[in-house]
């Protein structure tokens, strides 16, 4: 699915966008993980799909934690005890069927090169999740970002909460929660608000309606 120099390109992109902001991003994700803990039991086996530099998987409470990414630099950013899979999510994952409780992905699916790659990743998530397991997906919502969505060279697919929810349903999941407006758009450029603003924002869903430009969709693998 990917060219041989994909890893090198990903390394350059991450360095260009995030170098120098690691400490701030880590603090932001600590706060976000406090929010996402409501969906993720502390005893769960969690896969961070497109884990990047590991801000989510490093900070979420879970018994077993796995990060998957094509960027090999991801491994050196993961904390001790976290398994790193250097793998293409559109190919069969090196994981057993029914071996995960949670698949989490943030700002990743829009970077895949085609809808077929997204669907294959969702199918693999379904295969690897245990019955009752969840896929938690957060992405920029093209409905609210419009042209600014294309300011990132590696944004390929315009997605909405409805299109991703429909994709989940077509591939066996039921949609447990769908929030069209969740977080503001991007932490890779622009103003970095104080962390107490983020905590206040997460605790006030009314603000999401005005500032939220990313969606949150949660799918559940049926028990039977």
Taking only the tens place, the pLDDT of each residue in 126-147 is 999 999 999 999 999 999 998 9
Query: Which residues of the chain are under the pLDDT cut of 70?
Result: 1-21, 187-191
Q: How far is CA 2 from the centre of its chain?
A: 20
pTM for this one? Answer: 0.90
Predicted pLDDT of residue 140: 96
Residues near 223 by beta carbon (within 8 Å), at least 6 away in sequence: 131, 132
Which neighbouring-strand residues pair with 138? 106, 216
Predicted pLDDT of residue 3: 46
Residues 122 and 171 sit within 8 Å (Cβ to Cβ): yes
Predicted pLDDT of residue 162: 98
CATH superfamily of 6-220: Vaccinia Virus protein VP39 (3.40.50.150)
């Amino acid at each position: 699915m990917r060219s041989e120099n994909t890893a090198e390109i990903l390394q350059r992109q991450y360095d260009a966008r995030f170098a120098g902001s690691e400490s701030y991003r880590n603090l932001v994700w600590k706060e976000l993980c406090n929010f996402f803990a409501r969906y993720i039991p502390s005893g769960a086996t969690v896969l961070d799909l497109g884990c990047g530099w590991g801000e989510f998987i490093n900070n979420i409470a879970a018994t077993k934690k796995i990060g998957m990414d094509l960027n090999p630099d991801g491994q050196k950013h993961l904390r001790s005890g976290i398994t790193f899979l250097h793998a293409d999510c559109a190919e069969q994952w090196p994981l057993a069927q029914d071996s995960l409780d949670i698949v989490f992905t943030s700002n990743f699916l829009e970077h895949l090169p085609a809808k077929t790659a997204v669907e294959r990743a969702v199918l693999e998530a379904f295969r690897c999740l245990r019955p009752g397991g969840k896929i938690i997906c957060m992405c920029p919502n093209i409905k609210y970002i419009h042209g600014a969505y294309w300011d990132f060279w590696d944004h390929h697919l315009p997605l909405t909460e409805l299109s991703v929810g429909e994709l989940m349903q077509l591939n066996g999941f039921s949609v447990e929660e769908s929030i069209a407006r969740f977080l503001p758009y991007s932490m890779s450029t622009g103003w970095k608000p104080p962390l107490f603003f983020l905590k206040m924002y997460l605790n006030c869903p009314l603000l999401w309606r005005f500032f939220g430009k990313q969606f949150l969709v949660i799918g559940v693998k049926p028990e039977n």
